[in-house]
């Protein structure tokens, strides 16, 4: 068996997912890319994110297809009692590796932990919420409350700067995947099921605390707005002679020493160090005198084209990267992206062929190729037959009643 066809480490695990937007779909896709069978249940016509931007020219959501790679898709009218019963049958279906529900649609009686545990005592239910009390919240609102927008951007800026990366959604989705694996481990050892909840706001608060920002504030510290400087160290972006920009980071004395030598300002930096009584081998002194050091180093970058700057940095220990737009990444940089073993060329219904990532986790002997997202409802009848145990007569009746649909529409 070739590496590309060897089963993933989670092969045999079955997860039912009822979700929308980022966190919950990402949690399910993380498991699917490691070999789990993830069955996403949508309402007929799709959940609210089925048409979310960005869109392909056809109107197919690149967002939806990006977060649902490798899953199987079922559409069920979950407002109908018969549809709710079908969902319960899928979650509670027999088998040692089934009985797992991942959802951000919390508060529904028919998918509550007590209801499902009555059908399957060892059921695992992982529910993602906005806040710990169950009230709604999204990444932008949580980020606003947690403090980052007010320390992001240049020092002279008065307003808030929201980050376009949904960091808490991403972190929450990965926590959800870990929660499922931990609960499955518990079930394996004890035979007991689990009810796990994770709030987006708690993930954000925990992260801010883990990074020391809560303690810093509680002890009287005030985190300043620094633009592209690095708090507690020396890093900044530099403009080259041909209007490119590179981000340069020095985390160790060696990094800083190499940068100073590359820029040919060792004597000047040493003179400043002596005059100030500073020690630029320490993070703190490099940070305190960051503007002065920036002024000494910037001319070297400004006098050289990007190619020469890149060659010089590549020959040093300095950490650096060139700023690129998404379009540049997939234009001039596409060949570089395509050589990454995580990337695959997918032929996605409604989109066409494009590069897409598989799992960032590389297990030795296991392939990492991406698997396309399903069309909405593509596997409805197959899943009802093989997992829920529906007969052909039942499926025909459900279809006739409008409780299920195989709406293969390229979503």
What is the per-residue pLDDT across 99-143, written as a single tens digit (0 to 9) for each? 999 999 988 999 999 999 999 999 999 999 999 999 999 999 999
Sheet holding 37-42, edge to edge: 194-199, 124-129, 100-103, 14-18, 37-42, 72-76, 404-405
Count of CB atoms within 10 A of residue 403's CB? 22
Contact present, 113 and 89 (Cβ < 8 Å): no
Question: pLDDT above 70 covers what percent of the chain?
Answer: 97
Q: CA 22: distance to chain centroid?
A: 8
User: Looking at the annotation, which residues are catalytic?
Assistant: 169
Question: Is pLDDT larger for residue 86 or for residue 405?
Answer: 86
Report d(CA 161, CA 145) in Å as an integer.
12
pTM listed for this prediction? 0.94
Report which secondary-structure segment, H or E, holds 120.
Answer: none
User: Which residues are 389's β-sheet partners?
Assistant: none
Cβ-Cβ contacts under 8 Å for 86 (sequence gap 6 or more): 76, 384, 388, 390, 398, 403, 404
Count of CB atoms within 10 A of residue 22's CB? 23
Which three-class secondary structure string do you get for 26-78? HHHHHHHCCCCEEEEEECCCCCCCCCCCCECCCCCEHHHHHHCCCCEEEEECC
Averaged pLDDT for residues 164-191: 97
Query: How deeply is 386 buried, as exposed, middle or buried, from its count of CB atoms within 10 A (0-12, 13-18, 19+)?
Result: exposed
Confidence of residue 368 (pLDDT cuts 50, 70, 90): confident
Domain ranges of the chain: 3-209+344-405, 245-322
DSSP code at position 403: S
Confidence of residue 7 (pLDDT cuts 50, 70, 90): confident
The pLDDT tens digits for 207-259 are: 999 999 999 999 999 999 999 999 999 999 999 999 999 999 999 999 999 99
Q: What is the pLDDT of the chain when averaged over all its residues?
A: 95
Which three-class secondary structure string do you get for 100-111? EEEECCCCCHHH
Segment 137-142 long-range contacts (CB within 8 Å, at least 24 positions apart): 137/199, 137/200, 137/201, 138/21, 138/169, 138/200, 139/22, 139/166, 139/167, 139/168, 139/169, 139/200, 140/166, 142/168, 142/200, 142/201, 142/204
Q: What is the CA radius of gyration of the chain?
A: 26
Query: How deeply is 32 buried, as exposed, middle or buried, from its count of CB atoms within 10 A (0-12, 13-18, 19+)?
Result: buried
pLDDT at 5 (0 to 100): 55
Domain 3-209+344-405 coded CATH 3.30.750.24: no
Query: How deeply is 224 buried, as exposed, middle or buried, from its count of CB atoms within 10 A (0-12, 13-18, 19+)?
Result: exposed
Contact present, 68 and 348 (Cβ < 8 Å): no
Averaged pLDDT for residues 284-307: 98
Length of the chain: 411
DSSP code at position 219: T
What is the SS3 assignment for 208? helix
Count of CB atoms within 10 A of residue 259's CB? 25
Both tokens of 324, joined, read 């690129």
């Amino acid at each position: 068996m070739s590496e590309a066809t060897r089963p993933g480490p989670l092969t045999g695990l079955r997860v039912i997912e009822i979700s929308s937007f980022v966190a919950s779909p990402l949690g399910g896709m993380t498991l699917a890319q490691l070999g789990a069978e993830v069955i996403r249940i949508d309402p007929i016509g799709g959940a609210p994110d089925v048409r979310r931007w960005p869109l392909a020219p056809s109107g197919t959501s690149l967002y939806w297809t990006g977060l649902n790679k490798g899953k199987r898709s079922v559409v069920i009218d979950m407002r109908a009692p018969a549809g709710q019963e079908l969902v319960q049958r899928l979650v509670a279906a027999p088998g040692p590796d089934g009985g797992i529900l991942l959802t951000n649609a919390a508060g529904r009686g028919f998918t509550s932990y007590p209801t499902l545990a009555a059908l399957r005592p060892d059921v695992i239910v992982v529910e993602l919420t906005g806040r710990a009390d169950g009230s709604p919240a999204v990444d932008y609102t949580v980020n606003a409350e947690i403090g980052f927008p007010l320390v992001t951007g240049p020092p002279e800026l008065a307003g808030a700067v929201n980050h376009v990366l949904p960091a808490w959604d991403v972190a929450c989705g990965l926590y959800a995947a870990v929660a499922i694996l931990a609960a499955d481990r518990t079930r394996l050892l004890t035979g007991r099921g689990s009810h796990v909840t994770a709030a987006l706001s708690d993930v954000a608060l925990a992260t801010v605390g883990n990074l020391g920002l809560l303690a810093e504030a509680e002890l009287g510290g005030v985190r300043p707005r620094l633009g592209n400087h690095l708090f507690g160290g020396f890093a900044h972006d530099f403009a080259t002679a041909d209007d490119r920009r590179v981000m340069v980071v020095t985390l160790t004395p060696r990094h800083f020493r190499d940068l100073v030598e590359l820029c040919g300002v060792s004597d000047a930096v040493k003179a400043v160090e002596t005059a100030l009584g500073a020690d630029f081998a320490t993070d703190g002194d490099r940070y305190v005198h960051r503007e002065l050091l920036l002024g000494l180093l910037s001319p070297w970058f400004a006098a050289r084209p990007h190619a020469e700057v890149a060659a010089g940095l590549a020959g040093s220990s300095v950490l650096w990267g060139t700023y690129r737009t998404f379009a540049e990444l997939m234009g001039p940089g596409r060949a570089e992206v395509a050589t990454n073993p995580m990337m695959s060329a997918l032929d996605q219904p409604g989109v066409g062929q494009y590069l897409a990532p598989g799992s960032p986790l590389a297990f030795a002997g296991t392939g990492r190729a991406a698997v396309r997202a399903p069309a909405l409802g593509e596997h409805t009848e197959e899943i009802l037959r093989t997992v829920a145990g529906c007969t052909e007569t039942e499926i025909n009746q459900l279809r006739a009643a409008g409780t299920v649909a195989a709406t293969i529409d390229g979503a």
